[in-house]
Each structure stands twice: as C-alpha cells, then as structure tokens.
Amino acid sequence: MKKLISYVRSYLGHVGAYFMFTMLLFILFSMALGLPSSTFNTPLVWTSLLFSALVGIADSVFFLPISYLLRLVVHGVLCTAAFGLSFVAVSGLVERGRTGLFGILGFLVFYIVLAVIRGVYHSVTERKAREDAGYSSLYTPKDLDR
C-alpha cells in the first residue's frame, strides 16, 4: 500500500509540475506575441491538464530496465503523442491541420532540446558517480588479511 501511495504522490507531483510549466509557457508566449488576455479560456486550461496527466503517465517509462537513451526516445514519442492528442485532436483549439502539424513539430523540437540537455546532465552525473564509487575487484577475495 505504501508503494501505491508513493507512486500516486509522485504522479500527482509530476502532473502538477508539468501543468505549471505548460501554463507558464502559454503565458510567456502570449505576452511575447501580444495576444489579448481572452486567449486563456477554460478549454486551454483543461487541455493543459490533460496533457500534463498524459505526460505524467509517460514518465513511468523511466522505471523500465532499458538504456537511458532508449527511455528518452520512448518518452519523447509518448510526450509528442500526448501533445498531439490533447492540444490538436481533443481540444478543438486548432482548426487547420497545418497549424496542428507545425505545433506538433514545434513541440518535438522543444522536447529534443530538453532531452539533449537532460541526456548530457545524466551522462555527466553517472560518470561522476562511477568515478566516486571506486574500484572493487569481483574476483579478489575480500578477507585476505585474516
């Protein structure tokens, strides 16, 4: 039961963080583009929440026992599908197919930039952790002095 509660708390924390980040990006882009404040309406909030929930589910990929690069690729595909599903297919915010396609491609480029940063950070921290761990031979007996 504790594992389930821990997983739900982690999931809700991820969803909240993604929702906050998504809304922050929308606010910054609308301010940069000079869009009127009526752009933010209830469907945008609900689709952002749907997107955050789907990306929170996609985060479970990082528990799989596969290489980190493959986990990032699978997570990227799932996140791009979540973006397409929530902001293009379900929301109705995008009327034309070309606009939806450019939105998905823009999200994919944004994700790739973040994934490269995350991958570099992961490889640096893993390398440092391996260097700090020290060497211990698997084949040398540990108690030679006794």
Model pLDDT for residues 38-65, shown as the tens digit of each residue: 656 677 788 888 899 999 999 889 888 9
**What is the rounded distance in angstroms from the CA atom of residue 46 to the CA atom of residue 87?**
10
Residue 98 lies in a domain: yes
Q: Tell me: the pLDDT tens digits for 87-119?
A: 888 876 666 667 788 888 988 999 999 999 988
Categorize the per-residue pLDDT at 37 as very low, low, confident or very high, splitting at 50, 70 and 90: low
Mean pLDDT for the chain?
A: 81
User: Whole domain around residue 80: which residue ranges?
Assistant: 2-131
Q: Which residues 6+ apart lie within 8 Å of 64 measured at CB?
A: 71, 74
Q: Residue 105 falls within a domain, yes or no?
A: yes
**For the chain, how many structural domains are there in total?**
1
Is 140 domain-assigned? no
Q: What percent of the chain has pLDDT over 90?
A: 20
- Whether residue 143 lies inside any domain: the answer is no
| Cα-to-chain-centroid distance, residue 78 | 9
Work out the pLDDT band at 137, boundaries 50, 70, 90: low
Q: Does residue 138 lie within any of the structural domains? A: no
9 is a domain residue: yes
Q: Is the pLDDT of residue 129 over 70?
A: yes
- The confidence score (pLDDT) of residue 40 equals 60
Which of the listed ranges 6-10, 21-25, 53-57, 92-96 does the model predict with the highest average pLDDT? 53-57
Q: What is the pLDDT of residue 143?
A: 62
Helices 42-58, 2-33: inter-axial angle, 10-degree rounding: 130
> Is 127 in a helix, a strand, or coil?
helix
pLDDT interval class at 132 (50, 70, 90): confident
Predicted TM-score of the model (pTM): 0.74
> Does residue 137 sit within a domain?
no
pLDDT at 71 over 80: yes
Q: Is residue 141 part of a domain?
A: no
